[in-house]
A and B are shown apart, each in its own frame.
Chain A
Amino acid sequence: KAGVTQTPRYLIKTRGQQVTLSCSPISGHRSVSWYQQTPGQGLQFLFEYFSETQRNKGNFPGRFSGRQFSNSRSEMNVSTLELGDSALYLCASSLEAGEVYEQYFGPGTRLTVT
């Protein structure tokens, strides 16, 4: 069974631009969560989607948004990029909502904002 895939793996953007990252969960998994990983703040939860609905949200500004499609694939969008948004963005999938015990992580998208 294929694992969680994230595209693109690397991205360079300029301050003020917006970016969209994509995540394809493991086949059959209906929940997708997003995390931000930075050297300074560590790993922080962004949001969780289940059945195309945002189920849970971390403490991030409204510039960070996401959505989930009917095939469970998810995208996250960051608008008006800031230098501090440079990070590794990780996606994790699980069968059902809230199953943090059984999350499987993708390799991440490395975003660099210049």
Chain B
Amino acid sequence: GDSVTQMEGPVTLSEEAFLTINCTYTATGYPSLFWYVQYPGEGLQLLLKATKADDKGSNKGFEATYRKETTSFHLEKGSVQVSDSAVYFCALIGSNYQLIWGAGTKLIIKP
């Protein structure tokens, strides 16, 4: 069945460091892919998305490129801030037209 695998956290970085959070998927065909962010005490927010192969989603300095060859959708940011501390979820639209989620990766940014 459809599934999403994310790197385990927590990921701890210093401010202004480069961020990569790995995400790979298993699915039939080429599903739309998403990154969501969950700040402490808040609901999930859509961070970025890509709907077809080679698309690059971007928002708030974050980027992710849909790589069908490697079935990956890694999240990157060139210079992280303390305010980026949150839990990040990779997801895809499954065969039942609902979101299939990764386990989430907690990101901690230290000043």
Identify the A interface with B (CB < 8 A): 3-4, 33, 42-45, 48, 56, 58, 90, 92, 98, 100-101, 103, 105-108
Contacts and interface: CB of A to CB of B under 8 A. Distances in A.
Nearest to B96: A56
A1 to B, nearest CB: 15
Given A90-B44, A101-B32, A107-B43, A45 B98 contact: yes
6 contacts: A43-B104, A56-B98, A58-B98, A100-B93, A105-B45, A106-B43
Contacts of B102: 42
Contacts of B45: 105
Interface of B: 32, 41-46, 49, 89, 91, 93, 96-99, 101-104
Contact of A100 (B41, B42, B97, B104): B97
A103 B46 contact: yes
A74 to B, nearest CB: 15
B103 A42 contact: yes
A56 B97 contact: yes
Contacts of A48: 98
Contacts of B89: 43
A90 B36 CA distance: 14
A103 B101 CA distance: 14
Given A42-B103, A43-B89, A107 B41 contact: yes
A45 B43 CA distance: 15
Contacts of B103: 42
A42 B43 contact: no
Contacts of B99: 43, 45, 100, 103
